[in-house]
Structures are given as C-alpha cells and as structure tokens.
Amino acid sequence: MRIICAFLMAMLSTVGANAGEDNRPTGTNCDLAAPPASAGEELSHGMTMRIYPRARDIGPSYTGCQLVWIPQGNKWLTMSAVAIARGEPTRIWAPQESKPEFLACRYEHGQVVAGDSSKCPMAQFLLSESMSPGCVDKVRKAVAAGGLGAPRPAECEYE
C-alpha cells in the first residue's frame, strides 16, 4: 500500500496534460467529484486520502473505477482513477500526470498488455487498500498516546 501511495504522490507532484487517448475513464463511480462517507482512508505525507470503493468491496462483477482523492482546502481533488473491468484493473488515470508512459499502461488478467512493462506499475499495486472511515484520526490518537510503536486499533486494518 505504501508503494502505491508513494507512486501516486509522485504522479500528483508532476504537472502536465493528458494525451487524448488517456482521458478520465467512464463508468460506475468514475465521475464522483468527492468521496462518499463510506470511502476508505489512507494517511500519506500527513494528508488523509480517501479511496472509493474500498478494495474489499470490488468483486469480480464490478466494472467502473476506484478513485483516490486528496484534500485541497475545503474541497477534494481527484488524484487518480483506476479503471476496472470485471473486478480487474485495466489502467490508471491521473489528471496531473505528465509521464505518458504511466498513462499508456494497459492490463488484462494482471498482465501488462500495452505500454512499457518496465515502466508500468505492477497490476496488483493498482487497487488501493484502505482503512475504515474515521481510522486516520484513530491511528493519529493512538500514536499520540503511545508513540510510533503503538498498535493500530483493531478496526483499522487495511482491506
């Protein structure tokens, strides 16, 4: 999970335009502007990222997107969308991505079928696991009370 967050943060830190064939995916949840209350949470670089739908809720019949948002003032900024077909990731889209080699990656059955496989993230890292809503604050409180080695609250495991 930490690898994909670092990857996504690196993608967000670059500024550029998307190629025409790499437009935002369409389908179930792909056009959400903000995370619903049931979106999962991840803490990265001090920010609470929201993830929807949660990886645990993406089954073999799901076709649409998994979205990741970061806060920007009092709004949410879409950081990435992973297109999913029948429960499997097929590509990633990020509005601020300037490296066309990332956007060119296409996947089928967990394998790169288009794009430079040496530059494409592995398919198993495209879907982001997350903690339950409210867990970022619970983890912060646990760390504040018990230090970095404090156990994570039981209800705040990644799924």
- The single-letter DSSP state of residue 157 is -
Residue 9 falls inside a structural domain: yes
Residue whose structure tokens are 């990332």: 102
Residue 134 falls inside a structural domain: no
Q: How many domains does the chain have?
A: 1
Tens-binned pLDDT, residue by residue, of the chain (159 aa): 444 444 444 444 333 333 345 689 999 999 999 999 999 999 988 899 999 999 999 999 999 999 999 999 999 999 999 999 999 999 999 988 777 888 999 999 999 999 999 999 999 999 999 999 999 999 999 989 998 888 889 999 999
Tell me what pLDDT residue 137 has: 94
Interatomic CA distance for residues 26 and 39, integer angstroms: 19
Interatomic CA distance for residues 71 and 134, integer angstroms: 15
Tell me what pLDDT residue 21 has: 52
Show the domain range for 105.
Answer: 2-127
Enter the tokens of residue 16. 């550029």
Residue 52 falls inside a structural domain: yes
Residue 158 falls inside a structural domain: no
Q: pTM for the full model?
A: 0.83
Q: Beta-carbon neighbour count of residue 40 at 10 Å? A: 26
Residue 27 falls inside a structural domain: yes
Q: Beta-carbon neighbour count of residue 58 at 10 Å? A: 18
